[in-house]
């Protein structure tokens, strides 16, 4: 065992903003449990500085967790300008919904645009299977 195996993986806190994606909607209509829908739904878009801090590259898996749930998704660089450290984007779907609070503050609508999560590298873990959520 090397010394690095005792060090905790870097982790950061981010606010996740969910969004609708027309390609995801098309894939969902064609086959809700299909690979295309799963692949489009299982991403998080992070600022390049956040990716660097986590020591992950595009396509690597990361763990998103909070007090409401835990999912493993693929990381991508958002490519948005200007930089947005600490803010991430994720398609609205079953995986992002696992992280949404059940508290509605009397408005009867969950808060999909302001989800606080901790992100860490998932080295070697597979993306959370959609079927395991139901």
Q: Which of 3, 6, 36, 7 is nearest to 21 (CA)?
A: 36
Q: What is the CATH class of 11-127?
A: mainly beta
pLDDT surpasses 70 at 116? yes
* pLDDT score of 91: 93
Residues 101 and 115: their CA atoms lie apart, in Å, by: 8
DSSP state of 107: S
What mean pLDDT comes out for the span 86-94? 93
* pLDDT score of 108: 64
pLDDT surpasses 70 at 92? yes
What are the sequence ranges of the domains in the chain?
Answer: 11-127
* pLDDT score of 105: 62
pLDDT surpasses 70 at 106? no
User: Within 13 Å of residue 68, how many CA atoms lie on the same side as its CB?
Assistant: 15
Q: What percent of the chain has pLDDT above 90?
A: 57
pLDDT tier for residue 60 given thresholds of 50, 70 and 90 = very high
What mean pLDDT, rounded, does the chain reach? 86
- Which comes out higher in pLDDT, residue 120 or 32? 120
Residues 50 and 3: their CA atoms lie apart, in Å, by: 24
Predicted structure pTM score:
0.85
* pLDDT score of 114: 80
Residues 61 and 122: their CA atoms lie apart, in Å, by: 5
What mean pLDDT comes out for the span 31-39? 88
What mean pLDDT comes out for the span 3-31? 84
pLDDT surpasses 80 at 104? no
């Amino acid at each position: 065992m090397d010394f690095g195996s005792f060090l905790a993986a870097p982790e950061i806190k981010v606010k996740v903003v969910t969004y609708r994606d027309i390609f995801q909607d098309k894939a969902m209509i064609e086959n809700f449990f299909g690979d295309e829908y799963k692949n489009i739904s299982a991403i998080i878009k992070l600022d390049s500085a956040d990716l660097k801090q986590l020591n992950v590259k595009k396509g690597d898996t990361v763990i998103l967790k909070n007090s409401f749930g835990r999912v493993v998704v693929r990381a991508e660089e958002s490519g948005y300008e200007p930089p947005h450290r600490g803010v991430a984007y994720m398609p609205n779907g079953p995986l992002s919904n696992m992280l949404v609070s059940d508290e509605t503050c009397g408005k009867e609508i969950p808060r999909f645009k302001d989800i606080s999560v901790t992100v860490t590298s998932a080295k070697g873990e597979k993306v959370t299977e959609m079927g395991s959520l139901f």
